[in-house]
Amino acid sequence: MKFLDEAKVWVKAGDGGDGVIAFRREKYIEFGGPDGGNGGRGGNVVVEAVDGLNTLIDYRYAQHFKARKGGNGAGQDRTGAGSEDVVLKVPIGTQIFAEDKETLLADLDAPGARVVIAQGGDGGHGNAHYKTSTNRAPRRADKGWPGEEKWLWLRLKLIADAGLVGLPNAGKSTFLAAVSAAKPKIADYPFTTLHPQLGVVRLNASEEFVLADIPGLIEGAHEGAGLGDRFLGHIERCAVLLHLIDGSQPDPAGAWRTVREELEGYGNGLAEKPELVALNKLDAMTPQARTSRLKALERAVGRPVLLLSGATQEGVPEALRALANVIAEKRAADKAKA
């Protein structure tokens, strides 16, 4: 299935049904009076987050959604039928923006979260509504109110506990494949990963977390270079970032600075998130190169750096345990706040 994390849709809620003018006419009843019923309510347009979806591809080809009009009123004080809602099912983590792409209308970050994004119109009043002691035979009925109509932007931000960042070919996809059942594309050329990948990491029977891998960043990504920074939104919800550095390259400190500058240029709090830095591809380094590059990277980062190899699994359990500890602290803090 093709991955799509942004889509534009047009929604139109149903108009309300019309009220009617009618009079009661029965044998032996001299003064029947008005009995025109009200119109029914138009259908709403609802957006609901559901399990089992991880892309907005359904809204690439179907972009217009319109609810039905409410039923018209009828004689004998009969109210028109209300119309059913139109429900748009989206992945968990979908945000809904107005047409300007800046005004956030809703953030559906939990299973079953629902929001009425376009309100159906109320039904118009029939002439029975206007009957008074001085107006015994009103000949007024109202049209139904129009339903809301608008363009919307749907933007998906994947729900993950930890995110992988790094330059292209830093070994992120290899790491994800090694620690989860995900099967990302792995090759020896840059930008192998073209869209985000998710994997569930299970440490034991009671501990697990979701790990997200996004396409690699290069210098100038926040200005559109390479694949740009459009996929960074998928790690905005993460509790911790694992920054993988390619240890087979001669300047790991420069690689770390490049990605950090892109995170700061993107903003939205990514640069302030807890970050674990790991020197990857130990199997491709000599002992001398390992020592010198580790020291250079630790001087640049200002704290200890993890050593690992996604290909041989060396150091991977320690990295997963460090990630799990940060995630557990974040979950405990969120639970206490709630």
- Return all residues near 237 (Cβ < 8 A) that are at least 6 apart: 93, 109, 157, 158, 159, 160
Query: Distance of CA 327 to CAs 4, 241, 302, Å?
Result: 27, 10, 22
Could you tell me which residues are annotated as the binding site for Mg(2+)? Answer: 173, 193
Could you tell me which residues are annotated as the binding site? Answer: 166-173, 191-195, 213-216, 280-283, 309-311
Q: In what order do the strands lie in the sheet with 149-156?
A: 64-66, 6-12, 149-156, 94-97, 104-108
Task: Return the SS3 of 300.
Answer: helix
Q: Give the count of beta carbons closer than 10 Å to the beta carbon of residue 131.
A: 16
For residue 294, give both structure tokens.
Answer: 């580790």
DSSP string, 267-285: -TTGGGS-EEEEEE-GGGS
103: which strand partners?
none
- Residue written as tokens 């047409």? 99
Could you tell me which residues are annotated as the binding site for GTP? Answer: 166-173, 191-195, 213-216, 280-283, 309-311
